[in-house]
Structure 1
Amino acid sequence: MSESTFPTYEVLALRFGTHADRPARDNFLVDEGQFTQGTDMPMDFYFWVVRNEQHFLLVDTGFPEEMALRRGRTLFRDPVDALTDLGVAAGDVSDVVITHLHYDHAGNLDRFPHARIHLQEEELQFCTGPAMRHHIVRKPFEPVNVQAAVQRLFEGQLVLHRGEAEVLPGVTVHSVPGHTPGTQVVRVPTARGWVVLASDASHLWANIRLRSPFPILDQLTPMLDGYDKIEALADGDDHIIPGHDPQVAQRFPRLSGADDWVCLHEPALDSIETAAAVHVAAR
């Protein structure tokens, strides 16, 4: 199928939680003085839906209230319950992409009993391998989520990919290691062009624009190389959707009849330069 004959999809994002009290400098591996002293930069939590009349794909599954309380996060809505805004029940979801197995992206898997779970093979190997003996490495993971992924493997519902793969007609996943060895992004054809759900391959727009990664990472050079790959996959800066940037919920139009959801398949309400200026201080 040529790119010109791909179907197009709507891409929706829901901001379901936040980590509000967060200094800007905590979101970057190296502080080069680009942020003013005392600047706050909250980190929000999202998951995404890709849909058209024939298909429905969930990208990531958030985390439950118990985990929010334990990790000091604020949950605005239960991510699974929020699907009812779209007229979808969790039991009817047939395909879920998990971008990586960190706690905030891979919770609630047990609530999607009939879904195929799409994951990079290297992510499963990493989370069940010797790296998990190190506390600092395993800290962003939850054993219950890794166990749920293994359970789906034994039930024949875990689809393991090695690099690029098509998960819906025209919708592809791409391995972008760095944050974790098996982090993947999702590329979607929309009416406004190719949108890339970057997830934690770039937590914030500022991470990719400044080439300054979020400090939780497995390998630095692959993550920096991944920024180039993401930019090549997307049709422009505002076609790259970071995984945790509060501005995502502010820069795109709301879905009619379901105001908690924003429409990433529609043009942004402002320019990426305007958005970036909110946090980046003049050098």
Structure 2
Amino acid sequence: MSRIKIYTVNEMAMEISSLAVQAMIYEVSCYPSPGLVSPVSCGAHKDMDFFTFIDSTAALSKYLTLFIQEGFSNKSYREIFNSIRKIGITAEQDMFVKTKGINTHKGMLFLMGISCAAVGKTIHENKSFKYIQSIIKEMTSGIVEKELMQLKDTDAHSHGEKLFLKYKTDGVRGEVERGIPTVFQFSLDFYKENSELSINDRLIQTLIGIMQNCNDSTIIHRHSVEVLEEVKETAREIIAIGGMKTAKGREKINNLSTEFIKRNISPGGSADLLGVTVFLSLVEEYMKKL
């Protein structure tokens, strides 16, 4: 039997990580989510289903706690970021073991891991919710320059690296270095504004809202920048006619689900940002009670 690791984790880290797990389960549980895996559809994915996502979330749950615990320290923002990246490599390996090599949560793990650590650090420094974004920026400062700008064709291994070389799109690294602006400047407020909807409908409404602006690298990887722009424009049209609040909007979302399956379109980047939006919304409520 291999040597069992002993971790020191405070109760708050466990409480906050449960919110991250909740958010990840919410993201995969809502439908109709065009092109995405849900309890009723595999979307534009042939190698995974709802249960693959539950398995993956279960495998990652302990690491979410460890990301937050890293934030509960006197380490510098950069030191915390370097620590959680090491934890993230192990987390990703465990995810792939659980899913038999299927990439369910690689993008989500990166975004959620950074968000979790930043939340832990914000609380540790006795700061308010609004400081989380600036801490994320501090943690990830220079990541695009360091990891993408220096790339040569032979160095590119990940989808994000290959897309940067082809399109100069900085993907999830650029998003975190800017402090996840899609969430902090848009989707958190949008999620709040739609709180009168049922949980399911609110999640779908927010997903479509995010799709309006998200430079979704999953779509670019599978298709092209042109298809991405088409998806954004369709999302804007849906929100303009009310989205999940109107019969016409719902019908258009249902039609989009059918179309995305046929065309193999999956807004996976938008789905990851939805998960982070839900997590930070739950965190904001949690921090009000501290």
TM-score (norm 1): 0.28
Query: Greater CA radius of gyration, 1 or 2?
Result: 2
Greater RCO structure (CA 8 Å; 6+ sep): 2
Larger proportion of helix: 2
Larger proportion of strand: 1
